[in-house]
């Protein structure tokens, strides 16, 4: 029997790597068999965090072109896009909480440059939404949601609670909710 829903609490003192390990599993599966529908990353704050520690070359079977170093979110997304995936990313506009709108803009600038270089810019949509607090990562195979932003603090520092749900109901409800960002985006 395959477990449909997995709930995890990460604390810096108790289980600091549990979410990173889950993300490695999710992204490994996605790289081996990409979603046929659009991938969604919705996170008020988004950083180019480390997804795979490939210093030993353990992930060469997933992507033999990756160097023996940390493989970051942009590298993973680029590999998915090159395979033909379509990715939608939604972040907060940050304007209400920040004097300078640099955090998400830095990520958007870095990924935009890379997708242009690889010729896959038409497969990714970068959007901003006012007052975004929702956090979720949606693939055909599952929906990861919870309190965590996709940032260093979310993965490494802060206590977080996440739920990984593989049920068709959770995936379809998340897809419907996220598709509203295509209509309402501020980009």
Q: Per residue in 104-129, pLDDT tens?
A: 999 999 999 999 999 999 999 999 99
For residue 183, count CB atoms less than 10 angstroms from its CB and return exposed for 0-12, middle for 13-18, buried for 19 or more. exposed
Quote helix, strand, coil % in the chain, to nearest 5: 35, 25, 40
For residue 92, count CB atoms less than 10 angstroms from its CB and return exposed for 0-12, middle for 13-18, buried for 19 or more. buried
Average pLDDT of span 140-154? 92
Average pLDDT of span 32-44? 93
Q: For 128, which DSSP code?
A: E
Contacts of 110 (CB under 8 A, 6+ apart): 48, 74
Give yes or no for a contact between 181 and 127, defined as CB atoms under 8 angstroms apart: yes
Q: What is the mean pLDDT of the chain?
A: 89
Bridge-partner residues for 124, per DSSP? 87
Residue 99: is its pLDDT beyond 60?
A: no
Contacts of 158 (CB under 8 A, 6+ apart): 12, 148
The pLDDT of residue 66:
93
- Of 8-22, 73-87, 116-130, 169-183, the range with the lowest mean pLDDT is 8-22
Q: For 46, which DSSP code?
A: B
Q: How confident is the model at residue 64 (pLDDT cuts 50, 70, 90)?
A: very high
pLDDT > 70 in the chain, percent: 90
pTM, rounded to two decimals? 0.90
Alpha helices in 33-68 (DSSP H): none
Q: How confident is the model at residue 74 (pLDDT cuts 50, 70, 90)?
A: very high
Higher pLDDT, 103 or 136: 136
Give yes or no for a contact between 109 and 51, defined as CB atoms under 8 angstroms apart: no
The pLDDT of residue 103:
85
Residue 1: is its pLDDT beyond 60?
A: no
């Amino acid at each position: 029997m395959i477990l449909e829903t997995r709930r995890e609490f990460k604390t810096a003192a108790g289980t600091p790597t549990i979410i990173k390990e889950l993300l490695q599993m999710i992204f490994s599966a996605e790289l081996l068999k990409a979603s046929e529908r659009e991938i969604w990353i919705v996170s008020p704050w988004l950083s180019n965090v480390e997804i795979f520690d490939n210093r030993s070359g353990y992930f060469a079977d997933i992507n033999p072109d990756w160097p023996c170093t940390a493989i970051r979110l942009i590298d993973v997304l680029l590999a998915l896009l090159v395979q033909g995936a379509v990715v939608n990313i939604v972040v907060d506009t940050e304007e209400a909480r920040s004097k300078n709108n640099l955090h998400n803009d830095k990520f958007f600038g870095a990924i935009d440059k890379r997708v242009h270089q690889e010729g896959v810019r038409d497969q990714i949509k970068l959007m901003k939404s006012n007052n975004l607090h929702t956090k979720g990562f949606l693939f055909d195979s599952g929906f990861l949601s919870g309190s965590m932003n996709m940032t260093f603090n979310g993965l490494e520092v802060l206590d977080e609670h996440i739920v990984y749900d593989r049920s068709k109901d959770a995936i379809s409800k998340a897809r419907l909710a996220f598709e509203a960002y295509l209509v309402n985006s501020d980009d």
